[in-house]
């Protein structure tokens, strides 16, 4: 029996990353393809103790249905943290807790997009966001970027000539896939452009706190004077992803629409998991925990960049992320990332080919490399193998 | 700054139940309006112990990202349970674990519905499902029901004359809002009709195990010979709702579409919560736990029905559910449920007016009554107050 599905399903393929990941999951493969946090830093012992405590003290409430908006005391903590870390003032009422920040991407698509509407994004951009928006049948317009991030003048040109632009999706800090961060100047200019065009902004910030060098830059939301910016945050990278805790912070009349969508989508996020994160922040030092993560990832970034400098063949370029989990390889003209990928698999090493991150004009010269999830010796050996694969593809 | 939202948002209002619930949340009100399980039966102590155990034994895995499909050992247990309880054979690979079964409703809308497509449902039907489908801009066609549930002959007539029917949504066991259960004969006839028309079926079964009398009837899925039925299950009513654990079981090529949707929607359901449910079933007796729930809800149903028989004025009718959490009041011609509701609020008692459960033709003669969440003396006093309110509205 073949069922007749909706038109959108023709566009929704299983995430290419996940399909490729299947190739990369043989145990002998050293994989830079994923995006997993380092599990050795998960606060397992602390959570084991807290889980017992919170269930004993408020178990009947934590295991019951709860409000769609999320646990009030956790929303308060998120508001406090956004102020402390990103100089971003939001009221706890302006925060909706979601089942990971991935859920906010789906909700944003649902909230804004009719078929044929335009979503703007950095070129390249996060594949998981593109897939989420895709379900609502938009057209994508890619905004050119350089090492400093999105180029505001290009955005201005596009907005002056493009109809039905509903929102722009951006990751200004340690972007996925490139690892790039927008400068302060770019942020200011970007806000001028979106203000001029009244363009809603989806600011995705999963990695912002994981800055190894320099100071955290203000969020776009903190610079927003017209209520245009929706800020997406997550506990996945500063705490642990398995609990699926994210949030969106936006103007009250926008958050209330997100709440309606959430109500129909899954009623509310796991109340127990919310209580657990809340109790962790009450009882332990999340800032100190984040410092540990930063120290480890900085070290791994240093190891990987050093290995690349030593071993990568002439002509291969890579970004130098000041934080986050990813860097971005660019191969010389004429070298195909798809070919490199297959050579890599032969040599038991893997990254993700860059083409999936460009919603329209595919390029075949990039690879995304994750460095957060692997001990030093594996990083060095993996880069050795990958360098060989690239050499053989040149 | 006013943003331009998608067309669907014009149709998505905050659930009327939740709006009304705000009126019913004053502490002095005895509320039959919700649908909460009895929290005194949640296995709090057991979960407190297990949470510690599972984190200590596999915490780094439970707190990490996981596969979209769900925890394999839990999917296996769900398959076993569907066979044991509903005589329904499914392979664990044919199960996707979701963030509550509410999420399956949203996904089904996404999978099947283009704007203007037709969703069929029982008249009345579960409001939360109607709201979830609404986001995908369908037209609803209500299929007439009687005390025995949906009337298959009426469905056949509708299908013979209605275009763009994408699926039918039904709750054959202890339906929300009516508490009614379809007879075996109805199930057989229903399957004949959907087979004749090749109509996909969304079978929602949140309450089926909570049968106080007689035997659990076979699921529609167990009678499905053409791969038309998608079965939605949940741990919310037999375990606890705060963890948000549900599932869909369907043909492999349908489940794989649900998996794609899930991947973009929230990546996966809380891995820790899945591990906890899995460990509970391994270490405790879920069947014995369900027996406790059934005994308590049966008692409460007896108390409420007895109270109604004693106190309700002539002409008021109610269903006699053989399981589940709800019953359904029908007032005599000329008595407005909206008026009764306001009188009830004056007297500090509440139900949910029935109109919200009819997607098209509103009626104003019904009220949904929940009896799972309240001690005896409150039930008796609540029905006393409600009977007064009805008398005064007649």
Instruction: Kindly state the tokens that stand for A183.
Output: 């400068």
Going by the DSSP 8-state scheme, the letter that residue B323 receives in this structure is: B
Q: Please report the pLDDT score of residue A11 as a whole number.
A: 87
Structural domain contains residue B1: no
The DSSP string of B44-87 is: HHHHHHHHHHHHHHHHHHHTS---TT--HHHHHHHHHHHHHHH-
Residue A216 confidence (pLDDT): 87
Closest residue by Cα to residue A100 from A239, A286, A5? A239
Among B58, B195, B270, pick the best mutation site for testing chain A contact (most A Cβ within 10 A).
B270
B380 domain-assigned: yes
The tokens for A299 are 């070290």
The residue of chain B nearest to residue A246, with distances taken between CA atoms, is B266
Beta strands in chain A (DSSP E): 30-31, 95-98, 118-122, 139-143, 145-146, 149-150, 165-170, 201-204, 229-234, 246-249, 317-318, 326-330, 349-350, 352-353, 366-370
Residue A23 C-beta-side C-alpha neighbours within 13 Å = 19
Phi-psi sector, B391: left (phi>0), alpha (psi -120 to 50), beta = alpha
Q: What whole-number distance in Å separates Cα of residue B308 and Cα of residue B140?
A: 33
* Three-state SS at B363: coil
Report, in angstroms and rounded to the nearest whole number, the Rg of chain A calculated over CA atoms. Answer: 21
* Contact of B205 with B233, CB cutoff 8 Å: yes
Q: Which of the residues B7, B164, B242 would you substitute to probe the A interface, choosing the one with the greatest number of A C-beta atoms within 10 Å?
A: B242
- By the 10 Å C-beta count (0-12 exposed, 13-18 middle, 19+ buried), B50 is classed as buried
- How much is the ipTM here? 0.96
Considering Cα of B207, then B209, then B213, then B216, what sign does the dihedral take?
positive
How many Å lie between the alpha carbon of A313 and the closest alpha carbon of chain B? 34
pLDDT, residue A24, reads 76
Q: Do A64 and B228 touch (CB under 8 A)?
A: no
Cβ atoms of residues B33 and B382 within 8 Å? no
How large is the C-alpha radius of gyration of chain B? 21
Task: Residue A4: list chain B partners with CB under 8 A.
Answer: 112, 166
User: Closest approach of chain A CAs to the CA of B191, in angstroms?
Assistant: 14
Do A230 and A271 reside in the same domain of the chain?
A: yes
pLDDT confidence tier of residue A19, bands split at 50, 70 and 90 = low
The tally of domains found in chain B comes to 2
Domain extent at residue A30: 7-42+288-393
Nearest CB to A264 within list B47, B132, B272: B132
Q: Are B160 and B196 contained in the same domain?
A: yes
Q: Which residues of B touch A273 (CB under 8 A)?
A: 270, 272-273
User: Over 90: is that where the pLDDT of A176 sits?
Assistant: yes
pLDDT for residue A245: 98
User: Would the CB atoms of A263 and B42 count as touching at under 8 Å?
Assistant: no
B203 has pLDDT over 90: yes
User: What pLDDT band is residue B161 in, cutting at 50, 70 and 90?
Assistant: very high
User: Considering the domain boundaries, does residue B337 fall inside one?
Assistant: yes
Q: What is the pLDDT of residue B362?
A: 78
pLDDT score, position A362: 78
Burial tier of A154 (Cβ tally within 10 Å: 0-12, 13-18, 19+)? middle
Q: How confident is the model at residue B27 (pLDDT cuts 50, 70, 90)?
A: confident
Note the pLDDT of residue A15: 57
Q: Determine the residue of chain A that is closest to B51 in CA distance.
A: A51
Based on the fold, state whether residues B234 and B313 are members of the same structural domain: no
Residue A50 has pLDDT above 80, yes or no: yes
Tell me: pLDDT of B14 over 60: no
Closest residue of B to A113, CA-based?
Answer: B6
What pTM was estimated for this model as a whole?
Answer: 0.97
**B238/B354 same-domain check:** no
Q: Which residues of A touch B201 (CB under 8 A)?
A: none
Residue B224 and residue B76 share a domain: yes
Which residue in B1, B114, B270 is closest to A226 by CB distance?
A: B1
What's the Cα-to-Cα distance from B391 to each of A241, B111, B342, B380, B388, rounded to whole Å?
55, 47, 13, 17, 5
Residue B77 CA: distances (Å) to CA of B86, B245, B253, B365: 14, 13, 21, 42
Phi, psi of A12 (to 5 degrees): -95, 105
Banded model confidence at residue B26, pLDDT cuts 50, 70, 90? confident
Verify that B72 and B17 share a domain, yes or no: no
Do the domain assignments include residue A178?
yes
Domain harbouring A363, CATH code: 3.90.1150.10
Residue B1 has pLDDT above 70, yes or no: no
- How near does any CA of chain B get to the CA of A309, in Å? 31
Q: Which residues of A touch B200 (CB under 8 A)?
A: 3
Which CATH number is B118's domain given?
Answer: 3.40.640.10
Answer yes or no: do A14 and B260 touch at CB < 8 A. Answer: yes
Please check whether residues A239 and A325 belong to one and the same domain: no
Q: What is the pLDDT of residue B16?
A: 61
In whole angstroms, what separates CA B100 from the centre of its chain? 11
Q: Which chain B residue shows the shortest CA-CA distance from A63?
A: B242
Same domain, yes or no, for B381 and B246? no
Report the chain A residue with the minimal C-alpha distance to residue B100.
Answer: A266
- Residue where one domain finishes, among candidates B255, B283, B311: B283
Give the residue from A283, A302, A324 where a domain finishes: A283
pLDDT over 70 (residue A181): yes
Task: State whether B343 and B298 are in the same domain.
Answer: yes
Which of A283, A317, A349 represents a domain boundary (last residue)? Answer: A283
Do B55 and A60 lie within an 8 Å CB cutoff? no
Quick one: B298 and B149 in the same domain?
no
How far apart CA A169 and CA A136 sit, in angstroms, is: 15
Indicate which of A251, A263, A268, A359 best probes the interface with B, i.e. most B CBs within 10 Å of its own CB. Answer: A263
DSSP conformational letter for A233: E
Task: Tell whether the model's pLDDT for residue A18 goes beyond 90.
Answer: no
List chain A residues with CB under 8 Å of B37. 64
Q: Would you state the structure tokens that stand for residue B272, as one six-digit string?
A: 């820790």
In chain B, residues with a C-beta closer than 8 Å to the C-beta of A35 are 65
The pLDDT, as a whole number, for residue B253 is: 95
CA distance B135 to chain A (A): 8
Task: For residue B33, list chain A residues with Cβ-Cβ distance below 8 A.
Answer: none
**Inter-chain contacts counted by CB atoms under 8 A, chains A and B:** 254
In a domain, A63, yes or no: yes
Nearest CA in chain B to A3: B200
pLDDT on residue A25: 77
Average pLDDT over chain A, rounded to an integer: 95
Q: Give residue-wise pLDDT tens across range A219-270.
A: 999 999 999 999 999 999 999 999 999 999 999 999 999 999 999 999 999 9
Q: Residue A266's closest chain B neighbor by CA?
A: B103
Environment class of residue A179 by beta-carbon count within 10 Å: exposed (0-12), middle (13-18) or buried (19+)? Answer: buried
Name every chain A residue with its beta carbon within 8 A of the beta carbon of B68.
Answer: 18
**B229 belongs to a structural domain:** yes
DSSP secondary structure string for all residues of A279-324: HHHHHS-HHHHHHHHHHHHHHHHHHHHHHHHHHSPTT-EE---SBS
- Sort residue B348 into left (φ over 0), alpha (ψ -120 to 50) or beta: left
Chain A CB contacts of B254 under 8 Å are: 3
Q: Do residues B70 and B32 both lie within one domain? A: no
**pLDDT, tens digit, for every residue of A132-163?**
999 999 999 999 999 999 999 999 999 999 99
A134 Cβ neighbours under 8 A, 6+ residues apart: A8, A11, A12, A109, B264
pLDDT-derived band at B84 (thresholds 50, 70, 90) equals very high
Nearest CA in chain A to B99: A266
**Per residue in B29-43, pLDDT tens?**
999 998 999 999 999
Q: Do B42 and A49 touch (CB under 8 A)?
A: no
Task: Provide the mean pLDDT of chain B.
Answer: 95
Q: How far apart are the first and last CA of chain A?
A: 49
Residue A264 has its nearest CB partner, among B56, B135, B256, at B135
The model's confidence at residue A14, banded by pLDDT at 50, 70 and 90, is low
pLDDT per residue as tens digits for the range A307-356: 999 999 999 999 999 999 999 999 999 999 999 999 999 999 999 999 98
pLDDT tens per residue across span A199-223: 999 999 999 999 999 888 999 999 9
Same domain, B201 and B269: yes
* Residues in contact with A342: Cβ distance below 8 Å, sequence separation at least 6, in sequence order: none
Domain for residue A106, yes or no?
Answer: yes
Q: Answer yes or no: are the C-beta atoms of B155 and B190 closer than 8 Å.
A: yes
Residues on chain A touching B112 (C-beta within 8 angstroms): 3-6
- Tell me if A302 is assigned to some domain: yes
Can you tell me the mean pLDDT for A363-369?
Answer: 94
- What pLDDT was estimated at residue A338? 92
pLDDT of residue B18: 64
């Amino acid at each position: 029996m073949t069922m007749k599905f909706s038109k959108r399903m023709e566009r929704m393929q299983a995430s290419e990353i996940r399909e490729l990941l299947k190739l990369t999951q043989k145990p002998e493969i050293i994989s830079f393809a994923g995006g997993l946090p380092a599990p050795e830093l998960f606060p397992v012992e602390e959570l084991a103790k807290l889980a017992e405590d919170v269930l004993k003290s408020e178990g009947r409430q934590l295991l019951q249905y709860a409000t769609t908006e999320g646990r009030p005391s956790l929303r308060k903590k998120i508001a406090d943290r956004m102020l402390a870390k990103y100089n971003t003032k939001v009221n706890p009422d302006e925060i909706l807790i979601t089942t990971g920040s991935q859920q906010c991407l789906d909700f944003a698509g649902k909230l804004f997009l009719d078929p044929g509407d335009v979503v703007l994004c950095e070129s390249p951009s996060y594949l998981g966001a593109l897939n989420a928006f895709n379900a609502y049948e938009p057209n994508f317009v890619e905004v050119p970027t350089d090492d400093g991030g999105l180029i505001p003048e290009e955005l201005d040109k596009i907005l002056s000539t493009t109809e039905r632009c509903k929102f722009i999706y951006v990751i200004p800090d340690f972007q996925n896939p490139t690892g790039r961060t927008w400068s302060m100047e770019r942020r200011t200019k970007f806000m001028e452009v979106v203000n001029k065009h009244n363009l809603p902004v989806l600011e995705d910030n999963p990695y912002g706190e994981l800055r190894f060098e320099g100071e955290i830059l203000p969020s776009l939301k903190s610079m927003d004077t017209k209520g245009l910016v929706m800020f997406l945050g997550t506990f996945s990278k500063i705490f642990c992803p398995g609990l699926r805790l994210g949030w969106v912070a936006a103007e009250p009349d926008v958050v209330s629409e997100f709440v309606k969508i959430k109500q129909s989508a899954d009623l509310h996020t796991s109340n127990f998991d919310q209580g657990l994160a809340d109790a962790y922040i009450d009882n332990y030092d999340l800032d100190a925990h984040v410092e540990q993560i930063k120290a480890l990832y900085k070290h791994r970034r240093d190891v990987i960049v050093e290995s690349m400098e030593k071993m990568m063949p002439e002509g291969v370029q890579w970004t130098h992320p000041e934080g986050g989990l990813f860097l971005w390889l660019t191969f010389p003209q004429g070298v195909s990332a798809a070919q490199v990928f297959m050579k890599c698999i032969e040599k038991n090493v893997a990254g993700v080919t860059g083409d999936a991150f460009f919603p329209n004009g595919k390029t075949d010269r990039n690879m995304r490399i994750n460095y957060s999830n692997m001990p030093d010796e594996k990083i060095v050996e993996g880069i050795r193998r990958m360098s060989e694969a690239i050499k053989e593809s040149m």
